[in-house]
Amino acid sequence: MATTAPTVVPFSSTSSSTFQWNVFLSFRGEDTRDNFTSHLYAALVREGIQTFKDDEGLRKGELISKALEKAIKGSKISIIIFSRNYANSRWCLNELALIMEFWKKNGQKVIPVFLKGVDQLDVQHQKESFGEAFGEHEKNFDPETVERWRSTLRAAAQLSGWSSSDFRSLLPLR
């Protein structure tokens, strides 16, 4: 499932004019912004890959939800970084729902990354921290919203992805 080593796909910075970004990063900021995500972002940018990360790609004064929707729609690939607390965030779950909508409608590439301590099956079946998060969401949100989040999380976790340990040999450190 998530055990094969990833390959680097070269991108041209002048690729198709319909895309503003090559990669959109979806992540729980509290969990990964200052560690895994910042290192992945730096490695992608170093390789010339136009990458959207919310603290780098948002212009001051923009409405966050509209800017994120535009960035997701304008990206060739979305990388979803599943950390233990990803599902705690309604922002992450709404972002994921939008990513999976573009995946389904437009065939956008979606690559899940399962960080250390996150099992792909726990994400898919909403167990462990993912199950706990949905227990809280069921108390605070309407059933339709929670079911939409659950189904998009299941769909994303079924995609072939990477374990964060696979990244050790992905890009050379400089």
- The residue with tokens 């490695």 is 43
CATH number of the domain that 160 lies in? 3.40.50.10140
Residue 56 included in any domain: yes
Q: Which residues are catalytic?
A: 95
Is 1 domain-assigned?
Answer: no
Low-confidence ranges of the chain (pLDDT < 70): 1-17, 55-64, 164-174
Radius of gyration, CA atoms only, the chain: 16
What pLDDT is stored for residue 66 in this prediction?
80
CB distance 131 to 149 below 8 Å: no
Contact 116, 82 (CB under 8 A): no
Is residue 4 domain-resident?
A: no
Q: What is the pTM of this model?
A: 0.81
User: How many structural domains are present in the chain?
Assistant: 1
pLDDT value at residue 173: 43
pLDDT tens-place string over residues 112-128: 999 988 999 999 999 99
